[in-house]
Amino acid sequence: MKTINIVRSLALAFTAIGGSSASAQTAEQVAQDVLAENPVIDGHNDVPEQIAERFDGDFSQFDFRNTVPTLGTGEKPMHTDIARLRKGRVGGQFWSVWIDPELPKFEAVQRVIEQIDIVHRLVEQYPGDLQLALTAADVEAAQKEGKIASLIGMEGGHSIGNSLPVLRQTYALGARYMTLTHWKTLDWADSATDAPKSDGLSEFGVSVVEEMNRLGMIVDLSHVSEATMSDALDATKAPVIFSHSSANAITKHPRNVPDSILKRLPSNGGVVMVTFVPSYVSAENRDWDAAKKAEAARAAALYPGDKAAREGYIARWQEAHPMPSVTAKDIADHIDHIRSVAGIEYIGLGGDYDGITFTPDDLADVSTYPVLFAELANRGYSAADLAKIARGNILRVMRGVESTAAQIAKNKK
């Protein structure tokens, strides 16, 4: 009897201090609770390009509250709409205004303004759910109103046509970050996926970074070469971002961030917004993607002028070589690595939804962010850690960029 009473007393004490397994939250519950208070601010989504290409910018052709039934000219549903943003606990989104890097510079300027216009019209069309945000305070105000803060990011310095006046005017139109390059090297900045010209940034490239600091526009280093990353970190007075990149040490890919740069983030205050692109987060998938591109080139050589034959060839190849699986666990591996090298304060998320053909198996669209946060909770990330990844870190960057601009203006008086 004495032994039984001791066991009962221990059990009651354990329950009193919250040790009961019945009272413990699941990882999924932790994720939902954190995101309810700290909704995700994602660094990169290509909805504006989808609206331009699928619907020719005609808002009467689709309903952004639910885009699943409206495929437009595309073969697959979009990854994004308001219903799924809400389900995914997204409270802020940098909408990417991407244009083809091959465009002549004057046409590029026109096209990027048209893309910015799409974001403004999207917000105007759905005022009950979306709210334009130009500052960190605007993002927080949108959250209080229960709306999704809509920010604008230009994907590629070709958007400004080698012109600082154009840079200033895109800022005036609402652009709050610019990726210095896309896949193509510019006259003033080297891309990660093209031959270099300047061994990083040219003198004009440095002036672009300085002008972005003065304006209060975030310098985005996704897509740029390691030399450009380093030069930009040398030139900037404000925190930078990588709007959709992952860790090169986990998956060796030119679009990912090497440890030499990750080690510099604490002194800069910047954030790597880890992306979900399968070939960036899985070496096996990267190799599959490279093989598929090689087969596409082979099909083009075998069947010039015969689109149906080329498509049939690739379809048969994919059937025989299915895409390797990628999951939230792969994304979390990159987050783990960045935390170990730079720290928890330097991590965010940039899914690249609606800019990618394939997605991770369990992160199929913008409704699935809680899946990743549950995976991180399972790995021991605290609620405070998750809140930083979701929005705290990118809001700190935004405030840092804004305060740097204010200080530059003050020093010039």
Q: Do the beta carbons of residue 243 and residue 280 sit within 8 Å?
A: no
Choosing from 158, 244, 253, 337, which is the catalytic residue? 244
Cβ–Cβ contacts within 10 Å for residue 362, how many?
15
Q: Which of 223, 253, 334, 337 is catalytic?
A: 223
List 44, 158, 334, 337, catalytic entry: 44
Annotation marks residue 46 as catalytic: yes
Residues 6+ apart with CB under 8 A from 210: 235
Q: 328-341 and 369-378 are packed helices; what angle lies between their axes, rounded to 10 degrees?
A: 60
Identify the residue whose tokens are 């979306």: 130
The question of whether 223 is a catalytic residue gets the answer yes
Q: Which of 42, 138, 155, 385 is catalytic?
A: 155
Q: Phi and psi at residue 91, in whole multiples of 5°?
A: -110, -10
* Contact present, 68 and 125 (Cβ < 8 Å): no
Per-residue burial over 153-171, b = 16 or more CB atoms within 10 Å of its CB, e = otherwise: bbbbbbbbbbeeebbbebb
Q: DSSP string covering 47-69, please? A: HHHHHHHHHTT-GGG--TT--TT
44 carries an active-site annotation:
yes
Contact present, 112 and 124 (Cβ < 8 Å): no
**Residue 79 annotated among the catalytic residues of the structure:** no
Residues 6+ apart with CB under 8 A from 110: none
Q: How far is CA 382 from the centre of its chain?
A: 22
Catalytic residue (one of 352, 375, 385, 402): 352
| β-pairing verdict for 271-274 and 40-45 | unpaired
Closest CA to 337 of 276, 263, 287: 263
CA distance 109 to 37: 39
Contact between 52 and 118 under an 8 Å Cβ cutoff? The reply is yes
**CB 187 within 8 Å of CB 176:** no
- Positions marked catalytic: 44, 46, 155, 182, 223, 244, 352
